[in-house]
Amino acid sequence: GESVGLHLPTLSVQEGDNSIINCAYSNSASDYFIWYKQESGKGPQFIIDIRSNMDKRQGQRVTVLLNKTVKHLSLQIAATQPGDSAVYFCAEYPLDRGSQGNLIFGKGTKLSVKP
Amino acid sequence: NAGVMQNPRHLVRRRGQEARLRCSPMKGHSHVYWYRQLPEEGLKFMVYLQKENIIDESGMPKERFSAEFPKEGPSILRIQQVVRGDSAAYFCASSNNGQNTEAFFGQGTRLTVV
């Protein structure tokens, strides 16, 4: 089965609130993780990544947290905007597989932002 | 610098027909990855190609599916004798260094088999 999954398939938030999207993984060999945003009718767009030697990484309005103990990562979006409405995927990548490794995607969480 | 271009954006095929999906990578990129996305699902890796070579096809079905990336021209994902279960969105990504974690995705081809 899938080694990457998401706790919540849908998330609805009010504009201006913070959003938290969660992801669980089971492959302890995975040491690189990426969050993607996919808008309707478009391909995935890279948001932020994190390596397993880190537990937190911040970008513009986004923060990714990694908890290796429980194999969990989350994406936090600050001051959520209508343009953030999309499906968000986490993906894992076992770096020990080198360039021939492939990304393993979770099923995704749909984020809806209410004005 | 144009992004990854996929065409057609939408493709309708009858069962038993062939589907050809094209992917032109970003300029300067020689590594191409194909993924399939079923409705309400995440992307599933299919195949990784570098110019004229298949590097990893571990995610591609052994029958009816093939991929190529010739020296000149786009990468082609070919599905022969399509069945309803092939209906999905097919995404292509490209990178310049063989690291698919740094790849850029195209907008996908949505295949519908009727």
Cβ pair A2, A89 in contact under 8 A: no
CB contact under 8 A, B48 and A32: no
- Spell out which chain A residues touch chain B, with contact meaning CB-CB distance below 8 angstroms: 2, 4, 32, 34, 41-46, 49, 89, 91, 93, 99-108
pLDDT tens readout for residues B38-83: 887 889 999 999 988 999 998 999 999 999 999 999 999 999 999 9
CA A78/CA A110 separation, integer angstroms: 16
pLDDT tens readout for residues B6-31: 999 999 999 999 999 999 999 989 99
CB contact under 8 A, A102 and B33: yes
CA B101/CA A61 separation, integer angstroms: 21
CA A63/CA A75 separation, integer angstroms: 6
CA nearest neighbour of B68 among B99, B46, B87: B46
